[in-house]
Amino acid sequence: MSNKELSKDESLALITDMISQAKRNVAKGGSFYFLLWGWVVMFANLGHYLIAKFDWLDYPYIVWTLTIPAVIASIVYGAKKSKEKVKSHLDRLYSQIWLAVFIGVIIILFFMGNVNYNVNAIILTFAGIGTFISGRALRFQPLVAGGIALWISSIVAFNLHPIDQYLVGAVGILAGYLIPGYLLRKAEK
Amino acid sequence: MSFAQLDPLLHSQLRLAVMSLLIGVDSAEFVFIKEKTGATAGNLSVQLDKLSNAGYISVTKSFKGKKPLTTCSITKVGIKAFEDYVNNLKQYIE
């Protein structure tokens, strides 16, 4: 490409071509995160529910230590992705949405005693917000439906004993993260 | 109506290509722009400087490991200039 002046048609053709070039290089939406967190959170929810329900251990919340390697995996994956040569607006929006959800969840966990340990229902509401907005931003309907599924499970959870909320949480995550996550991965290929 | 109305800074093949690439993304690295435009590194640097001096793009220089890394993104002034350019262009087409 040189510095030559363009005719009006050449100008238009060039603009269109370059915009579509940039579009094709847009990094793909994060099915990785939905699958990673889907499996980890579903497994931890189920584990917590079973341990607490059948009194297997004194500290059922020990299963949530599983989220520590998941946080590390997310950071490593995120760092790798940020090395890509081009960053789309969507990439940035996406990471900011989930950073906001993550901060919200941490705040809730910190004050879980203040809300009578009803954290699961609240976290499901937050996860629903992140999933719904991600779905809208990516124009990917299964994620939008996943967000709604998480909100429904949050409504159900609010009406249950904190221990039973973990079971609802596992189902909500299956419907809200894992199923749309696999559909998203398929769509990314 | 004449072509003189079109922003001369944008009415050049490589600079217009750069702006068209950057309008669609949050930021892009020098190598990405070079690859997509097929320009030589030297020429691209000169044109990026021109766009940067006009305030159309912002250029950030950093390091990726030991390699220097140049990242470009379009500014608000640049977006306005690009929109005006496209709108002016439309007048000729209509």
SS (H, E, C) chain B: CCHHHCCCCCCCHHHHHHHHHHHCCCEEEHHHHHHHHCCCHHHHHHHHHHHHHCCCEEEEEEEECCEEEEEEEECHHHHHHHHHHHHHHHHHHC
Evaluate whether residue B94 is within a structural domain: no
- Whether pLDDT at A150 is above 90: yes
Provide the pLDDT for residue B1: 46
Are the Cβ atoms of A11 and B11 closer than 8 angstroms? yes
Residues A169 and A183: their CA atoms lie apart, in Å, by: 20
Are the Cβ atoms of A12 and B14 closer than 8 angstroms? no
Please report, rounded to a whole number, the percentage of residues in chain A having pLDDT higher than 70: 94
- Whether pLDDT at B90 is above 60: yes
Give the closest of B13, B86, B93 to A2, CB-based.
Answer: B13
Provide the pLDDT for residue A9: 81
More confident residue, B90 or B29: B29
A80, B64 in Cβ contact below 8 A? Answer: no
Domain that holds residue B56: 3-86
Q: How many interface pairs between A and B have CB atoms less than 8 angstroms apart? A: 87
Evaluate whether residue B46 is within a structural domain: yes
Band (A107; pLDDT cuts 50, 70, 90): very high
More confident residue, B94 or A97: A97
Residues A135 and B85: their CA atoms lie apart, in Å, by: 34
Provide the pLDDT for residue A27: 47
Residues A40 and A70: their CA atoms lie apart, in Å, by: 7
Provide the pLDDT for residue A19: 79
Are the Cβ atoms of B21 and A23 closer than 8 angstroms? no
Give the closest of B32, B47, B89 to A85, CB-based.
Answer: B32
pLDDT in tens, B38-89: 899 999 999 999 999 999 999 999 887 788 889 999 999 999 999 998 888 8
Evaluate whether residue B51 is within a structural domain: yes
Q: Where are the alpha helices (DSSP H) in chain A?
A: 8-24, 31-53, 67-81, 89-110, 119-138, 141-158, 162-173, 179-188
Cβ count within 10 A of residue A130: 25
B92, B49 in Cβ contact below 8 A? Answer: no
- Whether pLDDT at A145 is above 70: yes
Band (B94; pLDDT cuts 50, 70, 90): low
Are the Cβ atoms of A2 and B14 closer than 8 angstroms? yes
Which stretch, A32-36, A62-66, A144-148, B85-89, has highest mean pLDDT?
A144-148
Which position has the token pair 């992140």? A130
Band (A95; pLDDT cuts 50, 70, 90): confident
Provide the pLDDT for residue A90: 78
Evaluate whether residue B28 is within a structural domain: yes
User: pTM of the full predicted structure?
Assistant: 0.72
Evaluate whether residue B34 is within a structural domain: yes
Give the closest of A12, A18, A25 to B17, CB-based.
Answer: A18
More confident residue, B55 or B3: B55
pLDDT in tens, A116-138: 877 889 999 999 999 999 998 88
Q: The dihedral of CA A43, A45, A49, A51: what is its sign? A: positive
A37, A70 in Cβ contact below 8 A? Answer: yes
**Does ipTM top 0.95?**
no
Q: How many domains does chain B have?
A: 1
More confident residue, A26 or A55: A55
The CATH number for B58's domain is: 1.10.10.10
Evaluate whether residue B73 is within a structural domain: yes
Burial call A45-67: b when 16+ CB within 10 Å, e when fewer: bbbbbbbbeeeeeeebeebeeee
Are the Cβ atoms of B24 and A23 closer than 8 angstroms? yes
Please report, rounded to a whole number, the percentage of residues in chain A having pLDDT higher than 90: 47
B37, B18 in Cβ contact below 8 A? Answer: yes
